[in-house]
Amino acid sequence: MDEIAREYPLIECNLTKLGHNAREIVSRCAARGISVTGVIKGFNGDPRVAAVFRDCGVDGLATSRTEQIAACRAAGIPGPYMLVRIPMPGEAADVVSLADSTLASEMPTVRLLDAECARQNKRLGILLMADLGDLREGFWDKGELVEAAAETEALSNVDLLGVGVNLGCYGAVVPTPENLGALAEVARSVEARIGRSLALVSGGATTSLPLVLDGTMPARINHLRVGEGILQGKDLSDLFGLDMSFLHLDVFTIKAEVLEVKRKPSRPVGRIFVDAYGYTPEFPERGVRRRALAGIGKLDFAYCDMLKPREKGISVLGASSDHLILDAEDYPGELKPGDVLEFDARYAAALFATGSRYVRFVCTR
């Protein structure tokens, strides 16, 4: 609580702990015959952090934003690089010039990429996506996917790498042996159609790691796209109930400076309507309590429930755009303006904080 001379708010990434986590996840996947592409978007593609991913055994790097690939290439971080958002047609030139492979689910876009590859005299790998229920990107009709694979195979300037799926990011669908087994069946159908084996059968992202850890991943799955599971093992512990004690769960630390400490009622006084975001919050009656404001807000981390104070006796009540409101009634020590509080950050909070221009991003070892 004595560190008040630095510029706040900040988010701190411990690169030594991150490297340990990356090696652990890569080794456990490798033991199941699964390669890992490290997804760097969870820290907004910062080259300092991406370099640790690349040094710790991932087969390549992936992100959803071509700008992040450009920044990492400019910093000399070796690829290969995979684009894990299906491309916008308007960014075809950037995708071909910057990425080595991309997810895809629309044949007009694949044809556009093929033509752009010809113009740039480059090749681009294509991972065709199947939608197995999460209802984000991907072919819903698996027969259509098989025919798209056959067409992609016949194109002159792109290479069909394999098939993949995303589960959990939108529809909250849990990866299971059954739905990933369905992806393996799609891969077999594609292979029968094109007459060769696929290099990649990409079984999703961090939410698929539980199947690796408990030994239930279908054997045909040989690739995962993992970011959160390396950065935030705490999410797998808290949300999936997994024993993640082999990982550091505190790679990221958010620090914010206290602005105000006062005793106030626990419920607003007056007619309650909506807050700054159009919601009507609920305020349980707990009497007059010690409260604190910290200089960080939803603009920086988006989700209050993704922050957990490390100091005992402090809890998050809510936030506005620029203020974090805390209950400090049970904090055993003195709390005053200028004190610095530390928070564990779940994936979404770290994602927003590392991308905020108002939050310093500090790397330590």
Distance CA 36, CA 33 (A): 10
Are residues 288 and 192 part of one domain?
no
Give burial (CB, 10 Å; 0-12/13-18/19+) of 145. Answer: buried
CATH number at residue 156: 3.20.20.10
- Chain-centroid distance of CA 202 in Å reads 16
Are residues 257 and 234 part of one domain?
no
DSSP label at 56?
T
Q: Identify the domain boundary among 208, 238, 268.
A: 238
Are residues 233 and 289 part of one domain?
no
Work out how many domains the chain is built from and give that number: 2
Distance CA 215, CA 198 (A): 23
- Owning domain of residue 292: 252-364
On whether the CB atoms of residues 129 and 149 are closer than 8 A, the answer is no
Ranges under pLDDT 70 in the chain: 1-6
List, for residues 258-288, the tens digit of each pLDDT value. Answer: 999 999 999 999 999 999 889 998 999 999 9
- Closest residue by Cα to residue 117 from 89, 92, 139, 135: 92
Question: Quick one: tokens of 201?
Answer: 């059968």
Structural domain contains residue 48: yes
Q: State the Cα torsion 110-106-201-36 to the nearest 10°.
A: 80
CA 257, 262, 263, 265 torsion: positive or negative? negative
Q: Identify the domain boundary among 238, 261, 287.
A: 238
Distance CA 268, CA 155 (A): 64
Element (H, E) at 97: helix 92-98
Q: Identify the domain boundary among 197, 212, 238.
A: 238
* pLDDT for 235: 82
Structural domain contains residue 215: yes
Are residues 185 and 115 part of one domain?
yes
Query: Which residue out of 41, 234, 255, 298 is catalytically annotated?
Result: 41
Instruction: Report in angstroms the alpha-carbon separations of 147 from 109, 194, 198, 319, 365.
Output: 15, 9, 15, 50, 49
Are residues 283 and 197 part of one domain?
no
- Closest residue by Cα to residue 115 from 95, 142, 135, 132: 95
Phi/psi for 6 (5° steps) reads -90, 170
Are residues 175 and 72 part of one domain?
yes
- Closest residue by Cα to residue 96 from 120, 72, 60: 120
List, for residues 235-256, the tens digit of each pLDDT value. Answer: 899 889 999 999 999 999 999 9
CB neighbours of 98 closer than 8 A, spacing ≥ 6? 66, 69, 70, 73, 81
* pTM of the predicted protein model: 0.95
Structural domain contains residue 5: no
Structural domain contains residue 8: no
* pLDDT for 6: 58
Question: Quick one: tokens of 169?
Answer: 């990011």
Are residues 230 and 317 part of one domain?
no
Structural domain contains residue 245: no
Backbone region of residue 261 per phi and psi (left: phi > 0; alpha: psi in -120 to 50; beta: other values): beta
* pLDDT for 234: 82
On whether the CB atoms of residues 207 and 175 are closer than 8 A, the answer is yes
On whether the CB atoms of residues 8 and 256 are closer than 8 A, the answer is yes
**Known active-site residue 41:** yes
Question: Quick one: tokens of 312?
Answer: 């005992």
Structural domain contains residue 246: no
Are residues 275 and 188 part of one domain?
no
* pLDDT for 34: 98
Structural domain contains residue 174: yes
- Chain-centroid distance of CA 225 in Å reads 10
Are residues 286 and 229 part of one domain?
no
Are residues 226 and 101 part of one domain?
yes
Are residues 29 and 121 part of one domain?
yes
Are residues 308 and 209 part of one domain?
no
User: CB neighbours (10 Å) of residue 157?
Assistant: 17
CATH number at residue 262: 2.40.37.10
DSSP SS3 for 179: helix
Phi/psi for 291 (5° steps) reads -125, 155
* pLDDT for 1: 44
Structural domain contains residue 148: yes
